[in-house]
Structure 1
Amino acid sequence: MVRPTAGEYRVGGRVVLLAQDKPLYRTFRVADMLNFGRHTNLVWDQQRALGWLERFGVPLDRRCDKLSGGQQAQVALAVALGACPSLLLLDEPLANLDPVARKAVTGELLGEVAETGMTVLLSTHVVAELAGVGDHLLLLANGRSILDGDTEDLLAQHLRVTGPRADRPPLDGEVVHATHTARQSTFTVRGLLGPATPLDAPGWTVHPVTLEDVVLAHLKTSIGETGL
């Protein structure tokens, strides 16, 4: 929709975009939305769409504007999946769901990926949604890439080091982020030292990091502690 200034993309197969506003015809019943999807897509799998709604208990005879925000999100996902995409682009797809439903939807999406070979590109501000989901992470801040790579590799490259107040940790590596109190310093470091490797420095300990730790450390350094 916006002409790129450089670069290229190649996609083999069908591409489906589910935007953040979950576009639905509000006066349509859920069944009407599936019928609309069937008539506006060259490829359509009605059973796949129905199966998604059945798994989450969404009634077919209810108007879309009478559904909760979470149910509307499920209808939009059902229509997207019914179109049998090779590439599914999701913009904040779980924003209207409670934490339990988010986990359930994520699990079902991973099942769809495993079963069909579909690729999912997920854009989100909720870092917790990313844990255990993505194979590849692209982190953007101020319109530029600040972290890009295989998720497991990025986790293996980072660690957290805690010890006495200091300007730098007692090891080599890139200090991504640092916090200090009167007596203690904590550093998020990107390097080659694994979290199981002891430090030859009295009072210092090494800890593994989560994906959320890595993302927040890079964002805090790039855009500041208060964010955008």
Structure 2
Amino acid sequence: MGKGTLILGVLGGGLTLGVVFAGIGWLQRDAILDSMLERTLRSVTGVEAQLRDVDSQPFQGEFSIDTLLLSNPDGFKTPYVLKVDRLDIKLDPDTLWQDTVQIQSIAVEGVQIQLEQKLARNNIATIVDQLQASKGSSNSGGSSGSGSGKQIEIERLTIRGVDAQVKVSAIANLGLTRTLEIEDIEVTNLDTYNAESKLLEAISSAVTTAILSEIGKSATGDLIPLVSG
């Protein structure tokens, strides 16, 4: 698996699970849920995050976000690094106050990723470095993966409508842009301990397939570094 593919997977998987874990811990407090999630994402990614129309109905076991926007790190020009049109979570409300929260489904719709490569550095790698640093700091502090002491079990997680735009600003490839259409992703039987690795594997596999397909259409071979070691 190439580093470019890996970082796309880490970003998609890490942020999806980050929203879920953070949301579970505060689902009962709808009045401050959106600002809390924005602060959490800003803290772990190091960039500004915007959430619109966050809605939680804990007694019905429903939680949704209309539009999640993650800004670019300093020094990059694309409008944003990640945009999610819709995220829906359905869970068993009776388990919200138990040690293990049972989630029937998580559906992520309309994901746009903008990867901007500048010489040896790109915007997603910058955020992933911050994600990994935040995770390491959290683990050294002895906190749990959910940040709330709760465990989770997820029956099904789907990610649909994923487009990844790759923009290369290196000297030899001025203005080069490629758009990858990534196949729908579905992962089942996730829990607190295996969710990150299983989701990362599924996303990375889908991204690799899309990159290889685009390489097959292109005579330039400019996307090969994304799947090479």
Classify the TM-score, shorter chain: under 0.3
Which structure has the larger Rg?
A: 1
Q: Would you tell me which structure has more strand in proportion to its own residues?
A: 2
Q: Which has the higher contact order (CA 8 A, sep 6+)?
A: 2
- Return the TM-score normalized by structure 1: 0.25
